């Protein structure tokens, strides 16, 4: 099964709005000891940039409306996956979601800690390709500032944090078993950045997807093991103290030969820089 948190996770989540548990449709179970999957509970203070996207109107209150993850990269700026904000997920454009919020500083989704901040603006990368998942990122502007301590820097192209073998941490409130076990509390998993050629062999094209090194990064273990899973979409992959990836897609969770695929953050940095440059470009005078 192709595990794109776009297709195989979010649609079941939408159905969960009126249910007491979150179902996982057509999931392929993985061994409990090989499976965030293969992670461990953490306090949000250990990864304070990790936030949850929430809409109780759309997804119900069982998990405070959480449906995707995100990461704070500035005091009023959160990155997430583009597919998290699609109309097929939200049922409407983000601008029409009355209760779309970012939950920050909270370990247990149902606790009162941290804050729930309304979304002032949400912009999906115009270059996002929903078929290939290339360019899978969106930028959320918050109505209220986060503390600077909750912000993680982004790794640009050439950063040594992208070096294969580098240990990284992925965090979120997603499935911890590969079979629909969604926790209330924040979890994390340690994974390794993998070489592009390995990822290309894992996803050469076809029903499992196509890996593109210019806009994607993969991480995990070639033999299977710790991995992001459904519900973690848009969440952070951090290596050497810098954001290198956003949870995007994959085939199953924790499967041998099928590592998790992330949006490459250097591509996000490039895209944001290009957008900023185009906005500042002077107009030609008549």
Which of these is catalytic: 4, 233, 248, 266? 233
4 close to 89: Cβ distance less than 8 angstroms: no
Q: Is 83 a catalytic residue?
A: yes
β-strands 242-251, 236-239: how paired? antiparallel
Is 265 within 8 Å of 219 (Cβ atoms)?
no
Q: Does the active-site annotation cover 251?
A: no
- For residue 187, give the nearest of 226, 149, 148 by alpha carbon: 226
> What Rg value do the Cα atoms of the chain yield, rounded?
17
| H-run or E-run covering 187 | strand 187-193
233 is catalytic: yes
* Catalytic residue selected from 4, 8, 54, 83: 83
Q: What angle do CA 181, 187, 189 make, to 5 degrees?
A: 105
Catalytic one among 55, 136, 171, 215?
Answer: 136
Q: Tokens standing for 189?
A: 């998993």
What totals of helices (H) and strands (E) does the chain contain, helices first? 5, 14
- Catalytic positions are 83, 136, 233
């Amino acid at each position: 099964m192709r595990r794109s948190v776009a297709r195989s996770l979010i649609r079941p989540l939408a159905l969960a709005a009126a249910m007491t548990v979150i179902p996982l449709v057509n999931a392929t179970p993985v061994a409990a000891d090989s499976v965030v999957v293969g992670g461990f509970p953490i306090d949000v203070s250990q990864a304070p940039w990790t936030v949850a996207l929430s809409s109780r109107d759309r997804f119900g209150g069982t998990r405070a409306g959480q449906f995707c993850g995100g990461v704070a990269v500035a005091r009023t700026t959160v990155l997430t996956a583009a597919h998290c904000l699609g109309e097929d997920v939200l049922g409407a454009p983000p601008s029409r979601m009355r209760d779309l919020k970012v939950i920050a500083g909270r370990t247990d989704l149902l606790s009162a800690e941290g804050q729930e901040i309304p979304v002032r603006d949400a912009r999906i990368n115009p270059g996002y390709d929903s078929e290939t998942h290339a360019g899978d990122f969106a930028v959320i502007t918050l109505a209220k500032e986060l503390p600077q301590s909750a912000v993680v820097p982004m790794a640009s192209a050439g950063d040594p944090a992208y070096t294969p073998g580098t240990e990284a941490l992925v965090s979120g409130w997603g499935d911890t078993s590969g079979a629909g076990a969604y926790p209330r509390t924040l979890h994390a998993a340690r994974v390794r950045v993998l070489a592009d050629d390995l990822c290309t062999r894992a996803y050469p094209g076809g029903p499992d997807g196509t890996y593109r090194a210019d806009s994607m990064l993969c991480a995990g273990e070639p033999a299977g093991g710790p991995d992001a899973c459904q519900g973690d979409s848009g969440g952070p992959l951090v290596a050497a103290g810098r954001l290198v990836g956003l949870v995007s897609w994959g085939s199953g969770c924790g499967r041998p030969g099928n590592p998790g695929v992330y949006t490459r953050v250097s591509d996000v940095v490039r895209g944001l820089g290009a957008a900023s440059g185009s906005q500042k470009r002077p107009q030609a005078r008549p």
